[in-house]
């Protein structure tokens, strides 16, 4: 079901975050069978998302290690990246499962790798997906994550793959909450003590955006 062709999100009418958007079908459930999972998304002229592959391991590892202390403040997994082979294993597993149970994309900004945007859970039969993201500190505050998530949602809606998008984040994670709120996600509730980050446990906001 994966699609090797480029999905040029920028060529579609804009919804205000740099990535164009085909309008979601009015009645999503009636719109027909899902299309292929996109592997390449051109978000803007200088920003693209590409399905992760095993050869990305050196660049992903360099980015994670450079940002590790910062990432450990808001995410649990970075503290378990202890050696290069951990990232090799991650990239291989993510590539193997791409488009099946999840979909991890590397963000390329003016060429180099800037971060990762992913569907940590991709449930196409149910039309639901959970979104995750992190970006290099040097690339923050330019709107790259917001534009990338918008482009992903546009593409997956257009292919009738996902109807309901979810972002979950620890309640104090203001930059992550801002991404969801900037994109029009609705805060559906709070899960008590749902997220462990290091030795601390946090309540978690659930944000969702649905196609109809």
Q: Would you state the structure tokens that stand for residue 195, as one six-digit string?
A: 């997220």
By CB under 6 A, is residue 158 in contact with ligand COA? no
Give the number of residues written for the chain. 212
| Torsions phi, psi for 169 (to 5 deg) | -150, 150
The angle formed by the CA atoms of residues 57, 62 and 64, to the nearest 5 degrees, is 90
87 binds ligand COA (CB under 6 A): no
Among all chains, which residue has been given the structure tokens 């990338």?
Answer: 148
- Bridge partners, 205 (sequence order): 169, 190
Out of 113, 151, 176, 185, the residue judged to bind ligand COA by CB under 6 A: 176
CA 88/CA 55 separation, integer angstroms? 9
**Least distance CB 17 / ligand COA (angstroms):** 6
The single residue among 91, 124, 179, 206 that binds ligand COA, judged by CB under 6 A, is 179
Under the binding rule (CB under 6 A), the answer on residue 201 touching ligand COA is no
Residue closer to ligand COA by CB (options 19, 159) is: 19
Does residue 135 bind ligand COA (CB under 6 A)?
A: yes
Q: Which stretch binds ligand COA (CB under 6 A): 21-29, 37-45, 98-106, 174-182?
A: 174-182
In the complex, the smallest distance separating the C-beta of residue 13 from ligand COA, rounded to whole angstroms, is 17
User: What distance in Å separates the CA atoms of residue 161 and residue 17, rounded to the nearest whole number?
Assistant: 21
Both tokens of 142, joined, read 């330019």
- List residues binding ligand COA (CB under 6 A): 17-18, 71, 74-75, 133-135, 140-146, 169, 173, 175-176, 178-179
């Amino acid at each position: 079901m994966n699609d090797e062709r480029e999905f040029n999100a920028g060529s579609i009418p804009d919804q205000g975050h740099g990535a164009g958007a085909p309008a979601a079908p009015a009645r999503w459930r009636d719109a027909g069978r899902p299309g292929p999972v996109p592997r390449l998304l051109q978000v803007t002229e200088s920003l693209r998302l590409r399905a992760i592959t095993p050869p990305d391991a050196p660049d992903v590892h360099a980015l994670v290690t450079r940002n590790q202390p910062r990432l450990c403040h808001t995410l649990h997994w970075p503290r378990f990246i202890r050696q290069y082979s951990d990232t090799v294993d991650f990239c291989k597993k993510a590539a193997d499962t791409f488009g099946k149970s999840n979909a991890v994309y590397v963000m390329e900004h003016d060429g180099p790798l800037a971060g990762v945007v992913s569907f940590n859970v991709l449930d196409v039969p149910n039309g639901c997906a959970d979104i995750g993201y992190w970006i290099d500190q040097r690339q923050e505050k330019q709107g790259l994550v917001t534009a990338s998530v918008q482009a992903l949602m546009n593409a997956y809606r257009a292919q009738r793959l996902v109807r309901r998008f979810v972002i979950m984040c620890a309640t104090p994670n203001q930059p992550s909450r801002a991404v969801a709120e900037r994109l029009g996600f609705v805060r559906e509730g709070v899960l008590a003590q749902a997220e462990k980050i290091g030795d601390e446990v946090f309540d978690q906001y659930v944000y969702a955006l649905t196609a109809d």
